[in-house]
Structure 1
Amino acid sequence: MTAQPRIAILGLGSMTGAILTGLLAASVTTPERVVATTRTAASAQRQGERFPGVRVLSGEQEADANLTAVAEADVVLLGVKPKDIVVTARQIAPALRPKAVVVSVAAGVRAETLAGALPEGQPLVRTMPNTPLTVGSGVVGVAPAAGVTADQRALVESLFSGSGVVVPVSEEQLPAVVAASGSAPAYVFLLAEAIAVHAVELGLSAEAAEAMAAATVKGAGAMLVDAVTSGEQTAEGLRRAVMSPNGTTERAITAFEDGGFAGLVADAMDAAARRDEEMGREFGA
């Protein structure tokens, strides 16, 4: 691999835009060495203005935009929807350089399925990022397929390191990554939503309730990250530190526990993991 790899991003949107922002900020490569594609010409213009120096092509204006983007790439990031990813992989296969690393950010679509649409032996890495990547606080599970070298794996991990925490995993662990981080921001948003709704019922204004819920989630998250990073505390420890005996927080946590909170979270995570596996069967058919 070159010191500054040539990167193609097929489907430059919110998530892949966050990845691009992070890798440029970390000087993984330069804008002039990135070619991206979008569906519409209007989107290509907006993204080109957002990322000066990056060449952004649109399928609306150039039928072979994806083929053009990958022709010289060292890394190809597939940012299209899961339902479209196999078709896209098959489309670009003839234009790929033999050692170009193809990186998927799609849930469900297994490496075996993608490999079947790519040239034999094409380096392939599956990843599972989550949406906080868009604010530089994401989590990304990275699962290299067989045959990916240590240098190629390190290069792929570097693409994400500027936007969040990178966690090496096996492909078999990706459904758990989906459950624990990929879908998990929505769990947190649901909790914040429920807090805000009931705070209004308790007498706060909607604006105050939303602001309090958002700031509390942000603050608690920052405390947890600091504690876990330093090794000084765990989520359980932080929770217990807030709970005075027979105080308000203890009463609230008891209500959560009596309502089966832990079991409900487990059921939700299991549902997310099962759906990821179902998608693998659907798109592998």
Structure 2
Amino acid sequence: MMWSVVILLAAAFSVESYTVHDHERLAHGRQLKIFLSKNAEKLEFTPADDPSKTFLYWEKGRLRMSKGRVSGTGSDRRWYIDKVTYEDQGTYIQRDFWNKEISTFKVAVTPRHNYVKCVAGESLYISLEGIDLADASLSFSGEAANVTLVRDGARMSQDLVDYWDRVQTHSMNIEIRNVNFSDQGHYILRNRRDRVVSVTRMDLTDHHEYTGGNPLMALLLLLGIPAGICCCCRKKIFKKKANTAATLQTLPSTGPVGPSPPYSGPGQPGAVRLHLSFLSVCLHISDSTS
């Protein structure tokens, strides 16, 4: 019995000391998500560019973090970086209360590839994919030209006749206004270290193709359904009215032909005959419409 307990304890310690190794390749600007173990007390990061350094990104009980954010509680805790950059390449290590390594997660970042179709006259937007504008450089390569439009956040297009006042820089993207056939090609975004962040290919199209899930198409469909229903109901109403008119024309005359009888009061026999005749016609019309 004693040996069984020892074997079980040894197995438990061996499982607890097992380190989970995992890795992931993410396109630049994508979200990084790491599930935190329920036994994790801290998350450390060792950058791939400088393995000699280690940064503490998260520690249990601390409200402020040097990088990233945490959501969830208990065994459903997750640590996020909304947009990864090359600086986020490296190894993420989770440690328990005794500073023992629980898991390692290696992240590699690759350039992001985009394909965009624009209608002539529209604006093309190149996302900065998580880098600062001051670190961004954008070049264009196409049949018409091979030029640098932005360097370290500053516009170089003002020196280019074809791009003068058409390139605008924003905090989240770079805009090329009023695109035309000469703007078709590849737009390459680089960071300050001259690493390729993204490659965007732009082609012109006559019109945008809207899918079934497009909100505009859904709105048009929603507006078209009541219109169709009203149209059908209108046809049925007109048909019933036409049948009713035809029925009234074919009804036999029950009274003498001649001038209308003089008005009679409610208690007089003429008024009773008039009410009964009107009631009969109404009942006949109701039967014909139903």
TM > 0.5 between the two? no
Q: Normalized against structure 1, the TM-score is what?
A: 0.20
Report which of the two structures shows the higher radius of gyration computed on alpha carbons.
Answer: 2
Please state which structure has a larger fraction of its residues in strand: 2
Q: Which has the higher contact order (CA 8 A, sep 6+)?
A: 1
Q: Normalized against structure 2, the TM-score is what?
A: 0.20
Please state which structure has a larger fraction of its residues in helix: 1
